[in-house]
Structure 1
Amino acid sequence: MKTHISPAIRLTLVMLVLLAVIYPLLVAGIARFAPGGGKGETVLVNGKVVGYQLIGQQFTEDRYFNSRPSAVDYNAAGSAGSNKGPSNPDYLKTVQARIDTFLVHNPEVQKAAIPAELVTASGSGLDPDLSPAAAKIQLARIAKVRGISVEKLNQLVDSQTEGPLLGLFGPAKVNVLRLNVGLDELRTRGL
């Protein structure tokens, strides 16, 4: 029995040091070379952190581009989807309520034209991006509230649009936080 316990204890101690000390230090060291130094990619405005580029935030004011809905109220500590299927009555009521709210704030938009991503939450509940179409469908509302031409807002969306990765993988996308920061910068420049 002594021949089995001693190697088991030594193996446990080696694995404890390897997995609880060395591996986390290695990962933290590699993270230092990532954008943001392993602390996340912050978005700064006038030297103040206004959010994180890779974590969705809620924007509900009519003067801003709305974000994708979140099943976790944009709480990054608990990312999750709603876990409700497309035939679940509660899910359908939630989506219908989001459609109704969107139409109240965007009366010029037809129900059939609303991109699904504006009324359904992402799998993580923290998606920071929208498709260019989902951003552009909000232009009339924002132009009216801010007194900026639709053409100028369209140019802003186009300038903030990121193409697919390597031109091949994934869809084009627009980061909503960066888009709204750009929107506020238009106002401060008097455009």
Structure 2
Amino acid sequence: MLKEIRPAIVFLIALTVITGLIYPLAMTGIAGAIFPSQAQGSLIERDGKVIGSELIGQSFTSDKYFHGRPSATVGPDPQDPSKTTSVAYNAANSGGSNLGPTNRTLIARLQADVDKLKQENPSAPVPIDLVTTSGSGLDPNITPEGAFFQVPRVAKARNLSEDQLHQLVNDHVEDRLLGILGEPRVNVLELNLALDQMSIGQ
């Protein structure tokens, strides 16, 4: 009996070591050597301090900055840890709201967001990505249309010309991967960092 079981046990242990230890360590090492920035989380540094990642959105609320997509992520409620509360871009709890298109809470929130954005820029239609959350709740990008829509507000808050900001947005539009995959997009954190640099240079 032991003679038959021993090969199976040895095989199980060998596969566990290979697939659970050797392979992950090898892939981590190779990734770190070939793609060091991506392997470390695509972190963005400013003055030697990590201020964010290219892959995870951040909450910008000031009129002086471009805003990202709404985030539906949640976290523990500080008042009652047994409950959750809205925590924008919580990378520890990625996910969408899972509210359907007929949900009254979602409809009310969308309408309030659209009304608020229309006050910012009444002459342009509100881009859909500025009022809808992504599936992950962590999307760091918006559409070029979403960025251009916000130009009048940011220009007014920073006392910059709209033409300057249009050019800044254009400079930060990332094309489709290989020209066919995905959609054109603007990374909000990188755009806002460039905006700060532009304001310093004024």
TM > 0.5: yes
Given that 1:128 and 1:176 are in contact with CA atoms closer than 8 Å, whether structure 2 keeps it comes out as yes
**Cα deviations by residue, 1:65-123 (Å, 9 ceiling, x for unpaired):** 0011111120112211112221222222232232234345x1x335x711110011001
Aligned to 1:50: 51
Letter in 2 for 1:52: S
Aligned residues: 187
What is the 5 A alignment of 1:7-22?
7-22=7-22
Partner in structure 2 of residue 71 of structure 1: 72
Alignment of 1:116-127 (within 5 A): 116-127=128-139
* 3-state SS, counterpart of residue 105 of structure 2: helix
Cα distance change of structure 1 residues 185 and 24 upon mapping to structure 2, 3 Å threshold: same
What residue is the counterpart of 2:79 in the other structure?
Answer: none
More deviation in 140-149 or 168-177? 168-177
Identity over the aligned pairs, expressed in percent?
A: 44
Q: How far is 1:46 from its partner?
A: 2.3
**Amino acid in the other structure paired with 2:103:** N
- Counterpart in the other structure of 1:6: 6
What residue ranges of structure 2 are gaps of 5+ in the alignment?
74-87
Residue of structure 1 in register with 2:110 after alignment:
95
Once the two structures are superposed, residues 149-184 of structure 1 have per-residue CA deviations (whole angstroms, 9 ceiling, x without a partner) of 000000100111111122222221110000000100
- Contact 1:76 1:126 survives alignment (8 Å): yes
Over the aligned positions, Cα root-mean-square deviation in angstroms equals 1.7
The Cα offsets for residues 30-83 of structure 1, whole Å up to 9 and x where unpaired, read as 221114161111112222221101111111111100011111120112211112
The alignment's TM-score, normalised by the length of structure 2, stands at 0.86
Q: Which blocks of at least 5 consecutive residues in structure 1 are unaligned?
A: none
> CA separation in 1, counterparts of 2:195 and 2:36?
24
Supply the distance in 1 between the matched residues of 2:30 and 2:115 (Cα, whole angstroms).
Answer: 46
1:24 corresponds to which letter in structure 2?
Answer: P
Which residue is 1:23 aligned to? 23
State the shift of 1:134 in Å.
Answer: 0.4
Q: Which one-letter code corresponds to 2:21 in the other structure?
A: V
- 2:44 is paired with a residue whose SS is strand
Query: 2: CA distance between counterparts of 1:119 and 1:35?
Result: 35
